[in-house]
Amino acid sequence: MGAPSLPGFRLGQTFFGFKPEDRKILHEHIFNLIWVGEGRWDWNTIYHMPTFLRKFWIEQINRKHDAINEQNRKASKPAKTINRAPIQKK
């Protein structure tokens, strides 16, 4: 699916922009930042945010979630129990 063209003209995309498959990724990033940001950002702010800055925030959020997941994983491990010999009554 390319840029619309007149019959007889076989030009490809004539402007700089996103490919259709890249647009999906962009909007997934926007959605995820808005969702995880819990209202701290709006759509317009993230859409116009420079790419390097958007990637920075995504990496920060991923690191934070990885740390939380690791803490949850450690907390959900069963505690090691100490096996003691039974006490014998005299």
What's the pLDDT tens digit per position in 27-68? Answer: 888 998 999 888 888 889 898 989 899 999 999 999 999 999
Average pLDDT estimate for 18-32: 84
Long-range contacts of 30-37 (CB under 8 A, 24+ apart): 32/58, 32/61, 33/57, 33/58, 33/61, 36/61
Indicate the pTM of the whole model: 0.58
